[in-house]
Amino acid sequence: MSYSYSQAVEASLERVGELGVDPTAHVYKRLFAANPQMEALFWRDESGAIKGEMLARVFAAILDFVGERRYADHLIGTELVNHEGFDVPREVFATFFAVVRDTLRELLGADWSAGTEAAWAGMLADIDRFVVQAARPKAVA
Ligand code: HEM
């Protein structure tokens, strides 16, 4: 399965890999600048491994979301609920994908084209629909 944005989103993730830059520190710096109260929630993460693992899982979910979509839509729903257990509000959880987009835009510089921008906008709009669906209380049968 492929969506209008699949190729450009994949290419942007590949490009960061080619640059040999680890985006982890950049992503979390941006996240904590926008949401300072989130930093303390990573108190167990002394080595940085949890942040790295979470970002790796988000990248994998993005690749699945733009590709076969075998699990990413469900993962977003279940992690949204799991993260409430970590005191991450749903509204903040939902912003993480845009934080990743903003970070990649910064890191890719001139390699970030208008097409890349449009592709990410399309994907984020689709992801938002799953967040909203997951956040909606289940109808009583
Ligand atoms: C701003 C949004 C987010 C915040 C503040 C946040 C925060 C956290 C925190 C504090 C932990 C560590 C919990 C612990 O002490 O073990 C964690 C773990 C995790 N998060 Fe997030 N999260 C966010 C968004 C996301 C998203 C969008 C996903 C994926 C859909 C995700 C996937 C995960 C996973 C898989 C782990 C477990 C990592 C591990 O294996 O240790 N998170 N998150």
* Interval 49-72: pLDDT, tens: 999 999 999 999 999 999 999 999
Which residues approach ligand 1 with their CB closer than 6 A? 31, 38, 41-42, 44, 50, 53-54, 57-58, 61, 75-76, 79, 83, 86, 88, 92-93, 95-96
Which residue lies with its CA nearest to atom 38 of ligand 1? Answer: 54
Burial class (CB in 10 A: 0-12, 13-18, 19+), 99: buried
Give the N- to C-terminal CA distance of the chain in Å, as an integer: 33
0.75 exceeded by the pTM?
yes
* Interval 89-125: pLDDT, tens: 999 999 999 999 999 999 999 999 999 999 999 999 9
CATH number of 6-135: 1.10.490.10
Which residues, other chains included, contact 64 with Cβ-Cβ below 8 Å and sequence gap of 6+? Answer: 70, 71, 72
Q: How many A from CA of 42 to the centre of ligand 1? A: 9
